[in-house]
Copies of this chain bind each other. A is one copy, B any other.
């Protein structure tokens, strides 16, 4: 960034822009080091005269809130801040009510803008709130976790969890802008970086074997930061944008993005979203390995391919099987009921994302419940 003369080595990678092409709801994802300081200017351009409310969590606000507020202040954007506790458990009705009330308390109107500053939890919760306050106000995503930058901030899915399952309540609410400042990722823990990395790997496994192989060769550089990390974020956003463009409301192909998520969500539900035991990206990592193993079991791909997935995820330090999750072991009935409740069920038939091999995922709409149960029972027994 030109306005960041104190930039570190990462700042050699200039900002890039990926467009999510959705006709009148199209928007840009700006990716690069130091972009947080440019948010005020970008919002003043996009929403002339608007005021802003930042929705963030206490941790992220402490790390990055002031940089954002200073940026807004420099561009004359009057702003307020509403905070929620960090963690997946904030994605519930009570916290949605609290955020909505906090936004209404600012007196902001439909023409003003809500800025989600944080990881996936904040983006999902704040994006939902932005869609329902006064039946919809302006909305900008400023994702601060790797997972949010490569996945949850892009594509408009927002929502909260229900006691009956994850993300069962929410909206499709596309933002008007996503600003992914890759230098803020330096404040993440290794565990958080790994969790986001699982979603990056997912794009390779869905449809880009070349990208998966690039990750196998370059994962250390991605974790280290700089241009390799920005490249991985950009390719991930491009892959997601292409899928979202083709199927915004998940009538079909968008479901491919759920690779690893049906098993992953069931694991998250089974630990009651306890982040000490399992965070979302870890659930996805294990779920992707399971999706490949289950695909092998159904005759769709080779054991070698399933093993390559597990090896790569394991190499970066991600869990790859249920027994890697600390705490009590899982119950088959709990897992099966979580899978049945998962919203990717259609008319009673289980829909799974399976794969014909690395980078060759597909939507299987007719997966037998008995096959899933038998596979999980074997996993639990091993």
One of A229-237, A281-289, A339-347, A364-372 contacting the partner: A339-347
CB distance from A302 to the nearest CB of B (A): 34
Interface members, chain A 95-123 (any B CB < 8 Å)? 96-97, 100-101, 104-105, 107, 109-111
Assess A168 versus B133: contact at CB under 8 Å? Given A101-B162, A104-B162.
yes
CB distance from A359 to the nearest CB of B (A): 28
SS class, residues of chain A in contact with chain B: mixed
Asked whether B163 lies within 8 Å of A101 as measured between CB atoms, the reply is yes
Residue on B nearest A134 in the bound complex, by CB: B343
Return the contact of A343 from the options B110, B163, B171, B249 (Cβ within 8 A).
B110
How does the 8 Å CB contact mask read for A232-270 relative to B, with 1 for contact and 0 for none?
A: 000000000000000001100000000000000000000
Asked whether B109 lies within 8 Å of A170 as measured between CB atoms, the reply is no
Interface centre among A93, A111, A346 (most CB of B within 10 A): A93
* Copies per assembly: 2
Contacts of A162 in B (CB 8 A): 100-101, 104
Contacts of A134 in B (CB 8 A): 168-169, 343
- Answer yes or no: A172 CB below 8 A from chain B CBs: yes
Return the contact of A164 from the options B104, B111, B172 (Cβ within 8 A).
B104
CB distance from A167 to the nearest CB of B (A): 8
Return the contact of A101 from the options B131, B157, B164, B171 (Cβ within 8 A).
B164
* Number of chain A residues whose Cβ lies closer than 8 Å to a Cβ of chain B: 38
Asked whether B171 lies within 8 Å of A159 as measured between CB atoms, the reply is no
Contacts of A100 in B (CB 8 A): 93, 162, 169
Whole-angstrom CA separation of A250 from B110 in the bound complex: 11
Assess A111 versus B346: contact at CB under 8 Å? Given A101-B163, A101-B164, A104-B162.
yes
Whole-angstrom CA separation of A105 from B341 in the bound complex: 9
Asked whether A131 lies within 8 Å of B171 as measured between CB atoms, the reply is yes
Asked whether A105 lies within 8 Å of B164 as measured between CB atoms, the reply is yes
Contacts of A165 in B (CB 8 A): 104
- Answer yes or no: A136 CB below 8 A from chain B CBs: yes
With contacts A135-B157, A135-B170 known, what are 15 further pairs, Cβ within 8 A? A93-B100, A100-B162, A101-B162, A101-B163, A104-B341, A107-B340, A109-B346, A110-B343, A128-B132, A132-B169, A132-B170, A135-B159, A135-B249, A135-B250, A136-B172
